Chains A and B, each alone.
Chain A
């Protein structure tokens, strides 16, 4: 079973700055099955990026995903106040089996 490790655990930035979040898999992943989610307190996770680099419907262009194999990155080009939340990466690893990272908290 592939494990996803997100870093950093907490990222402290200011509005207007650039955020770079990392997710590393213990085994190589098929890019088609890698996604990023945003979760705010009391809400369900919201799909941001799928297939490693495709933005979900309605997601602003400031969100972008990149990477392949075992290393993936979520970049928020210019932080807006509403972007401060917890971010999770997720992969399908076959068998079937889905796994999620432990999350990165993006705080002001």
Chain B
């Protein structure tokens, strides 16, 4: 059974960098036609796709975040990470990591981590 588990700081100060990690168990992030992505959910903007990384390492970003976001993978630890720079209150949200099958469905999701941006 594939399991994804997010971890992160919970509270980040404005203008700082948000760093999140998703630990994957029950499957390898470096095999198959799978992408590993980050999605966030906030009352104001609903569900937003942020970025994805392919099993072979290619990275893909939502243009709305592209200038301040980076996604990376650590295949030895079977995890992938998101860095979001220059955060503001608008980045306060629940953040999910998820797997998507090709450029199609998100078929496995983590349980989410709440991130609050506040001084």
Contact = CB atoms under 8 A, between A and B. Distances in A.
A30 B62 CA distance: 19
Name, among A45, A97, A98, A103, the residue most crowded by chain B CB atoms within 10 Å (CB to CB).
A98
Interface stretch (B8-16, B69-77, B108-116): B108-116
B106 A47 contact: yes
Contacts of B107: 47, 50, 56
A90 interface: yes
A35 B106 contact: yes
B47 A33 contact: no
A44 B45 CA distance: 16
A95 interface: yes
Nearest to B6: A44
Contacts of A35: 104-106
Name, among B63, B98, B104, B105, the residue most crowded by chain A CB atoms within 10 Å (CB to CB).
B105
A44 B96 contact: yes
A100 interface: yes
Given A32-B104, A35-B105, A88 B47 contact: yes
Given A97-B49, A98-B49, A100-B46, A45 B104 contact: no
B62 A44 contact: no
B46 A45 contact: no
Contact of A51 (B46, B63, B104): B104
Contact of B109 (A32, A44, A50): A44
Given A44-B96, A96-B52, A96-B60, 10 more contacts: A35-B106, A45-B96, A45-B109, A50-B105, A51-B104, A51-B105, A92-B104, A95-B63, A98-B62, A100-B47
Interface of B: 39, 46-49, 52, 60, 62-63, 96, 98, 101, 103-107, 109-112
